[in-house]
A and B are shown apart, each in its own frame.
Chain A
Amino acid sequence: MPALEVKDLATTFHTDDGLVKAVSGVSFSLDQGKTLGVVGESGSGKSVTFLTVMGLVDPRHAQVSGSVLLNGEEMLGASQARLRQIRGATIGMIFQDPMTSLNPVKTIGWQLEEAVLIHQDVTRKEARRQAIEILKEVEIPRSDQRVDDYPHQFSGGMRQRVMIAMALINNPEVLIADEPTTALDVTTQAQILRLMGRLQQEHQMAIVMVTHDLGVVAELANDVIVMYGGKVVEQANVDDLFARPEMPYTWGLLGSLPRLNAEGSRLEQIPGQPPSLLNPPRGCPFNPRCAFVMDVCRTDLPELRRSDNGEEHYFRCHLDDETRTRTWEAKHAALVSKDAAA
């Protein structure tokens, strides 16, 4: 049984300006000990998807449909009391900005102990022992003293370690990391990613890594979902996705990656802006920015269909197989020759 299985998830927000279809048709399955990378630019719906999975979208403003199975248990429609039992215990979440994600007026220790006391029937003393223990595990030096410090006495990287510690203190089976390294500098990013990798090995958790950094995905993920305009546009095993991406948006993402040995050449960019979710384009959400746009793209949303390249490889695109193969091979050749020239 997969640790986390999501089927046809959709989240719609009621706003003053009308209905916003933030996410629709998201499906995936994630096994114990595996990592799912979720890529997309801001507003692509990746954060909303996982806030919905956590049951953290406000039911007064959001309408949710589909299915979220955590260890086989349906989360959508579960009672608030049950959700509270699950959140922080079976499924943990860490957020993008460690500078604002900790309560500034409570000590680190208090906040870690709180996570323990909510879910375990233990004394405060035991909770404190666990807090110090987990701080040691996320490599915070002098953890028995630092436990009494306030968040502002920690650096950004240290705070993200504390956030990870807080999410892991009850030994969850699934960890959702919503852009955990975006707000950190590059060396700290590498440390945090290495730490997460090690903790995953030790705890055998399933990790969802939401990011807009394909480098992070290449390094950590087993499977990848590419999201655009609130929809999954491509979904594959990480090797298949990097070897043979099937649709123009993913091509653009891969083309925009900086390459170490291509110094001096301009990065490719995808022209235009991400679509407004309030007023999405008709048909394929990527059609206003797509270099290969056809008439059908402006009227019909392409179905998520199976690719012949790779086992569980799905994508959305109206282009026929031959054109896609030809275009990708040309693009790939250009990238490779750029590498070779450098």
Chain B
Amino acid sequence: MTQFLIRRLFWAVFLFFVATIITYLIFWVIPADPAALAAGKAASPADILRVRHFLHLDRPIWEQYYYFVQNLVVHRSLGMSFVNRESVDSIIGKDAPVTASLVFGGAVFWLSLSIPVGILSALRPRSILDRITMTFVLIGISAHPVWIGLILSFLFGYKLHLTPIAGYCNFIPGSPGAQCEGPVQWAYHMILPWITFMILFAALYVRLVRANVMETMSEDYVRTARAKGASERRVMVHHVLRNSMLPVVTILGMDLGLALGGAIFTETIFNLPGLGREVISAYNADDLPVITGVVVFSTICVIIFNLIVDVTYGFLDPRIRPS
């Protein structure tokens, strides 16, 4: 187990360098002048030069990268935004809960829809229910999150007034300047983004669950259970479900990382102040520290999700449990 964790840790460090170096390289390749943007429209060329020097932008890219790593190791800090000198750590600290609300809430939604529906359509392949769900699956897979988000927001928010059109409320009350707060308002504002996520991912997961349940039901040990006289319910609960959920857990771990990326569109549509929207505005302002900060944070999240998946997997499947 310790060996496993040490190997994981090495991987994490390696992935961190790969992800951040690639970010710096991309930034170096694209034509941009963050100093000019940071200095503002009225700045003189001398001002811009001073800003450029101050931000180390007059240094070669590898030196800038060195400063970034040094800052991270020595000061445990991801640096400060080029644009408003706000600490990247506090930006991420502010944005991450919003994205986490979106991704995890969405995951709860899409799982609680797709697991039962997937199982039901696996039990009755080619039935009406199966055909209807497969049609929705096709729509869900084909549609873009921006389109789904806009349609939902227009229909339920603008036309029917059932939900807010957009916006976010803090889960924990007491933040200054907030227009609304508390769990109820939070959930009320998140419902459409969650449903957007649900439509996107439920499509894939219904298929995944359905395929896995059907495959498991044709396993020899399921026949053995029936030969023992087990009821269909018992066969399903004790023999099919756990075995068919193994691949779902793996895919879920990967998709939670992927969902961070998917959050970009959903957050933009519903005006949620999360990491996705932050990265878009940072990109528009050539704000390298913020972009790198989000990349580092997402990388760490993906690594942690994968670790959780591996541990869960070992718990679910005795064959790969480290003994």
Contact = CB atoms under 8 A, between A and B. Distances in A.
Contact of B226 (A56, A89, A103, A107): A56
Contacts of B225: 103, 114
B228 A102 contact: no
Contacts of B219: 100
A118 B239 contact: no
Interface in A125-177: 150, 152, 163, 166-167
A191 B319 CA distance: 27
Nearest to B321: A150
A101 B229 contact: no
Nearest to B221: A103
A54 B227 contact: yes
Given A105-B316, A150-B318, A152-B319, A95 B220 contact: yes
Interface stretch (A79-87, A286-294, A310-318): A79-87
Interface string B57-79: 00000000000000000000000
Given A105-B317, A119-B229, A166-B228, A56 B223 contact: yes
A88 B228 contact: yes
A92 B243 contact: no
B319 A114 contact: no
A115 B227 CA distance: 10
Contacts, number: 73
B220 A101 contact: yes
A84 B224 contact: no
Chain A's interface size range is 20 to 34
Interface in B199-234: 219-221, 223-231, 234
B227 A92 contact: yes
A101 B221 contact: yes
A104 B239 CA distance: 9
B318 A84 contact: no
A95 B223 contact: yes
A89 B229 contact: yes
A246 B298 CA distance: 76
Contacts of B231: 84
Nearest to A112: B228
Nearest to B125: A60
B242 interface: yes
A106 interface: yes
Interface string B96-139: 00000000000000000000000000000000000000000000
B220 A84 contact: no
A118 B239 CA distance: 14
Contacts of B94: none
Most buried by B among A88, A103, A163, A166: A103
Contacts of A152: 318-319
B323 to A, nearest CB: 9
A106 B318 CA distance: 8
Contact of B227 (A56, A100, A150): A56
A159 to B, nearest CB: 11
Contacts of B234: 114, 118
Interface in A60-93: 84-89, 92-93
Most buried by B among A86, A89, A100, A119: A100
Interface in A306-336: none
Nearest to B239: A103
Most buried by A among B220, B227, B238, B318: B227
A118 B224 contact: no
B228 A115 contact: yes
A87 B223 contact: no
Nearest to B240: A103
A102 B221 contact: yes
Nearest to A98: B220
B319 A104 contact: yes
A87 B229 contact: yes
Contact of B228 (A104, A114, A150): A114
B227 A88 contact: yes
Interface string B237-276: 0110011000000000000000000000000000000000
Contact of A84 (B230, B242, B243, B317): B230
A156 B106 CA distance: 44
Nearest to B228: A88
B227 to A, nearest CB: 4
Nearest to A55: B226
Given A150-B318, A152-B318, A102 B224 contact: yes
Contacts of A41: none
Contacts of A166: 224, 228
B319 A106 contact: no
Nearest to B124: A60
Nearest to B317: A105
Interface of B: 219-221, 223-231, 234, 238-239, 242-243, 316-319
28 contacts: A84-B230, A86-B229, A87-B226, A87-B228, A88-B227, A88-B229, A92-B227, A93-B227, A95-B224, A95-B227, A97-B220, A101-B223, A101-B224, A103-B224, A103-B238, A104-B243, A104-B317, A105-B243, A106-B239, A114-B225, A114-B228, A118-B228, A118-B229, A118-B230, A118-B234, A150-B318, A166-B228, A167-B227
Interface of A: 54, 56, 84-89, 92-93, 95, 97, 100-107, 114-115, 118-119, 150, 152, 163, 166-167
